[in-house]
């Protein structure tokens, strides 16, 4: 993604084929633009008036990269939305619009739209938008919640009924 920190020269089609041939599953992640009210200001941010278009553009890049690695439609690609300040409505709206563009862009190519984020910011914010008709809902969440347990329910701010059909992943240690 736009904010990728390293080249990952060993991430190749051959490697993907080798590990998936061994039975491993992949969680491809894209570090695209970040919330305007983000904690890490060194990462490039979403422009609120262009958020949906920027999300769609990032999805196009992610699909192209995934296809080059041999990932097929039906696979999920996760947008990494790092920690940001909750309570800033304009910021939350920009993130929601960006993720709507991301979801629509991936869906157009047959991919599922996931999002990785901190339980107390990106995931809680997405849970608050879950039933909104103003945004396109992401298909799956991958939460960064380092509580040392593999529990996939009972998350503060995220009702268990949301992303309930095997649509949750968790990073429980870091």
* 55-95 confidence digits (pLDDT tens): 999 999 999 999 999 999 999 999 999 999 888 999 999 99
What are the helix (H) ranges across 109-167? 124-129
* C-alpha–C-alpha distance, residues 85 and 38, integer Å: 6
3-37 pLDDT, tens digit each: 777 778 888 999 999 999 999 999 999 999 999 99
139-174 pLDDT, tens digit each: 999 999 999 999 999 999 999 999 999 999 999 998
pLDDT score, position 161: 96
pLDDT score, position 85: 87
102-138 pLDDT, tens digit each: 999 999 999 999 999 999 999 999 999 999 999 999 9
Any residues with CB less than 8 A from the CB of 97 and at least 6 apart, and which?
Answer: 48, 51, 52, 55, 135
Asked if 2 contacts 13 with a C-beta cutoff of 8 angstroms, the reply is no
* C-alpha–C-alpha distance, residues 102 and 58, integer Å: 7
pLDDT score, position 64: 96
Asked if 82 contacts 117 with a C-beta cutoff of 8 angstroms, the reply is yes
pLDDT score, position 23: 96
Rg of the Cα atoms in the chain = 16
Asked if 12 contacts 69 with a C-beta cutoff of 8 angstroms, the reply is yes
The rounded mean pLDDT for the chain is 94
3-state secondary structure of 46: coil
pLDDT score, position 1: 76
Write down the pTM of the prediction.
0.93
> What is the pairing mode between strands 140-144 and 168-171?
parallel
């Amino acid at each position: 993604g736009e904010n990728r920190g390293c080249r990952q020269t060993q991430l190749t089609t051959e490697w993907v084929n080798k590990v998936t041939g061994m039975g491993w599953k992949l969680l491809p992640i894209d570090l695209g633009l970040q919330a305007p009210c983000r904690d890490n200001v060194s990462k490039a941010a979403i422009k609120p008036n262009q958020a949906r278009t920027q999300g769609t553009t990032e999805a196009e890049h992610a699909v192209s990269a995934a296809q080059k690695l041999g990932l097929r439609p039906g696979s999920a690609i996760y947008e990494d939305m790092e920690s940001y300040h909750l309570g800033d409505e304009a910021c939350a709206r920009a993130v929601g619009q960006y993720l709507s563009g991301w979801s629509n862009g991936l869906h157009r190519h047959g991919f599922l739209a996931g999002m990785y984020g901190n339980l107390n910011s990106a995931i809680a914010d997405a849970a608050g938008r879950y039933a909104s008709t103003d945004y396109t809902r992401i298909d799956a969440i991958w939460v960064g919640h380092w509580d040392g347990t593999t529990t996939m329910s009972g998350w503060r701010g995220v009702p268990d009924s949301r992303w309930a059909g095997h649509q949750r992943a968790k990073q429980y240690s870091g």
